[in-house]
């Protein structure tokens, strides 16, 4: 079976934390590929994405930049509406029977896993690869046992970058250079995303 890690998120914009999480999980967990899947409407966020779906997808393409093991998938954007991971995983399992899927997520998302739509069902279909993230202490004690035992931790260099901080920096007219891949940086500047 080909091992695929799914990297879900809003990617508003994609940044080096996402890429390093994907690469660390790939190496530590022996993944053959990582697929980046931007959400249309993320279920647990209290605000809509700032950039359009097309812009976020384009930034993901530029961010992964033909890395041989990385791929971008538009299925959640094409499906539209609220993007539930269970729907995505069910669609992918049907479309790609030769692959086994796991889901990569940062500590903040591990902590809200208990609130995910149909989480126990999802945990029967995939395992979770959890990476540390500054500002969030990973706590699996609140998770149902069946979910908790599907979470495996993976080391990654702590990297204190978030899309929220990048958007705030843009609003404040501060630099985001080297927080995002250069091609993403150029795209944000050229299209005047998130401020000037
Ligand atoms: P926002 O601030 O808008 O929520 P974000 O930086 O958290 O953006 P998301 O698109 O929400 O990015 O995150 C997608 C996935 O990447 C989540 O599982 C998140 O935990 C993980 N992630 C994001 N940034 C990091 C980071 N710096 N280190 C580890 N994991 C990260
Ligand atoms: Mg986030």
Atom of ligand 1 nearest to the CA of 105: 18
For residue 196, pLDDT over 90 is answered with no
Q: How far is CA 18 from CA 36, 66, 93, 172, in A?
A: 9, 15, 23, 23
Q: What integer best gives the mean pLDDT of the chain?
A: 96
Give the whole-angstrom CA distance, residue 190 versus residue 196. Answer: 10
Strands 127-131 and 2-9 turn out to be: unpaired
> Is residue 82 one of the residues assigned to a domain?
yes
What's the CATH number where 19 sits? Answer: 3.40.50.620
Number of domains forming the structure of the chain:
1
> Is residue 15 one of the residues assigned to a domain?
yes
> Is residue 76 one of the residues assigned to a domain?
yes
Ligand 1 within 6 A of CB of 155: no
Length of the chain: 196
Per-residue pLDDT, 188 = 98
> Is residue 142 one of the residues assigned to a domain?
yes
Choose among 15, 24, 32, 27: nearest CA to 155: 24
Choose among 26, 16, 17, 53: nearest CA to 37: 53
Give me the domain span that covers residue 68.
2-158
Q: Confidence band (pLDDT; 50, 70, 90) for 66?
A: confident
Starting from the CA of residue 154, give the closest ligand.
1
> Is residue 168 one of the residues assigned to a domain?
no
> Is residue 28 one of the residues assigned to a domain?
yes
Considering all CA atoms of the chain, what is the largest pairwise distance in Å, rounded to the nearest integer? 48
pTM of the model: 0.97
Ligand 1 within 6 A of CB of 9: yes
> Is residue 172 one of the residues assigned to a domain?
no
Placement of tokens 């279909």 in the chain: 125
For residue 46, pLDDT over 90 is answered with no
- CA torsion 109→61→54→188, rounded to 10°? 90
Write the pLDDT tens digit of every residue in 142-178.
999 999 999 999 999 999 999 999 999 999 999 999 9
> Is residue 85 one of the residues assigned to a domain?
yes
Q: Which of 57, 63, 106 to mutate to test the pocket of ligand 1 (most atoms within 8 A of CB)?
A: 106
For residue 23, pLDDT over 90 is answered with yes
Per-residue pLDDT, 45 = 86
How far apart are the CA of 18 and the centre of ligand 1, in A?
A: 6
């Amino acid at each position: 079976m080909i091992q695929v890690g799914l990297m879900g998120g809003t990617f508003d914009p994609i940044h080096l934390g996402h890429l390093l999480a994907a690469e660390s999980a790939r190496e530590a967990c022996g993944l053959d590929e990582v697929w980046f899947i931007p959400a249309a409407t993320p279920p647990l966020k209290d605000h809509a994405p700032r950039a359009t779906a097309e812009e976020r997808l384009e930034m993901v393409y530029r961010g992964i930049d033909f890395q041989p093991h990385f791929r971008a998938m538009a299925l959640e954007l094409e499906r539209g509406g609220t993007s539930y991971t269970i729907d995505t995983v069910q669609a992918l399992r049907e479309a790609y029977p030769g692959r086994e899927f796991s889901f990569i997520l940062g500590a903040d998302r591990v902590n809200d896993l208990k609130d995910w739509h149909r989480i126990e069902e999802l945990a029967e279909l995939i395992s979770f690869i959890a990476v540390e993230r500054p500002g969030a202490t990973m706590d699996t004690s609140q998770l149902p046992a069946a979910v908790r035992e599907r979470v495996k931790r993976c080391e990654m260099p702590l990297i204190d970058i978030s899309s929220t901080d990048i958007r705030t920096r843009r609003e404040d007219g501060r630099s985001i250079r080297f927080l995002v891949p250069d091609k993403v940086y150029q795209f944000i500047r050229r299209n005047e995303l998130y401020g000037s």
